[in-house]
Amino acid sequence: MFAYSVRRLLVSIPLLIVATFLVFWSVRTTFDPTAKLATSRDSARVRAEMRERLGLDDPIVVQYGRWLGDAVTGDLGTSTRTRQEVSSMVWPALGNTVQLIVWGFGVSLVVAVGIGVFSAVRQYSIPDYVFTALSYVGLAMPPFWFALVASQLLGPGLKDALGLDDPVFYVVGLHSDDGGLDLDYLQHLFLPVLTLTVQIVASWSRYQRSTMLEVLSTDYIRTARAKGLRERVVVGRHALRNALVPVVSVVAIDAGLLFGGLIITETIFSIPGMGRLFVEALTAGDAETVLAWTLVSAVFVIVFNLLADLAYGLLDPRVRLS
């Protein structure tokens, strides 16, 4: 398994180089970082100075080579937009996105697996139909729309309904002050996590239900029941473990992708995460930041895909990685 993991990671290096080059090329040829200076009366001078400072007149390959040379030494460059070290922008943003993902995925996993198992065990019952209908609603509902409606209803709507002076759930940021893991933090976290959870639960619970149904109809489950095992043991110990395998891979792949940012959730709830960082950097032609974002996001996708593969082996001993 170790050798397999190392081999997979080594194969990923050329992939990262190609991905970052394509991103660099597309950002440099699409967005001009000097464009915002066009409104200065001094635009010719200040834009020319910036072009020279950033080496924008060099061939793309030369510019990319400069970035790559620095990146392998751990220097992700300086943002052309904010003049900050890019690494000092990426890590805080990643921290905020990770908070959303950890809470969102934690809640979603519990709820989605619960709903999926329940719906499969009680197939064609009224609760199964209700959960099925709700999941379709969740899948069909645009997240930005849900976020705005939830903000209205659970923000000022709930506050007014309860006649409170202070909000029950906040709609901006992750904390009121410097914060910690306290009630204020949870009041800020609730709506963005709810927005994230509704989408994910709708999707994962369907996977869980269908894989659970498949497993429940297999011979070994029939055998387990025939041996007189209690239904809770059959479902919990024998069926669920196998039914989790495809769901785990979906969870791992989704997690890897989402480390790139939850653009809608972060924008609507004013959370400075990876998604907002990407959008702001892209529109400003800040290639260095976009590249760092690409690098970090790609690493997470690769690592989580690898984790998904490794999880197969752990959950299903029949799977051997080689």
Residues lying near another protein in the complex (CB under 8 A) are found at 31-32, 34-46, 48-50, 53, 81-84, 89, 92-93, 148, 151-152, 155-156, 159, 165-167, 170-173, 267-272, 276, 283-285
Strands (E), 11-99: none
Residue 78 φ then ψ, to 5° = -115, 135
Minimum distance from CB of 156 to another protein (Å)? 4
Report the SS3 class of residue 33.
Answer: coil
Compare residues 151 and 205 and give the one whose CB is closer to another protein. Answer: 151
Compare residues 137 and 164 and give the one whose CB is closer to another protein.
164
Nearest distance, CB of residue 263 and another protein, angstroms: 12
- The minimum distance between CB 181 and another protein, in angstroms, equals 17
Which of 202, 199, 201, 195 shows the shortest CA–CA distance to 100?
A: 195
In the complex with another protein, which residue's Cβ is closer, 28 or 209?
28
CB of 66 to another protein, least distance (A): 19
What's the length of the chain? 322
Q: Considering the complex, what minimum distance in angstroms separates the CB of residue 21 from another protein? A: 22
CB of 187 to another protein, least distance (A): 11
- CB closer to another protein out of 92 and 236: 92
Closer residue to another protein, CB minimum distance, 123 or 270: 270
**Cα three-residue angle 283-273-269, rounded to 5 degrees:** 95
Q: Specify whether the CB–CB gap between 304 and 252 falls below 8 A.
A: yes
Minimum separation from the CB atom of position 270 to another protein (A): 5
d(CA 176, CA 187): 10
CB 205 within 8 A of CB 111: yes
DSSP 319: -
**C-beta of 162 vs 226, nearer to another protein:** 162
Q: Between 49 and 231, name the residue whose CB sits nearer to another protein.
A: 49
Q: How far is CA 196 from the centre of its chain?
A: 9
SS3 category, 85: strand
Buried b (16+ CB within 10 A) or exposed e, 164-184: eeebebbbeebeeeeeeeeee
Do 64 and 21 touch, CB atoms closer than 8 A? yes
Cβ closest to another protein, residue 76 vs residue 212: 76
Pick 266 or 307: Cβ nearer another protein:
266
First-residue to last-residue Cα distance in the chain = 7
The structure tokens listed for 168 are 């029950």
Residue 89: strand pairing partners: none
Please state the closest distance from residue 288 (CB atom) to another protein, in A: 13
For the bound state, the minimum distance from the C-beta of residue 142 to another protein, rounded and expressed in Å, comes to 13
Phi, psi of 85 (to 5 degrees): -65, 130
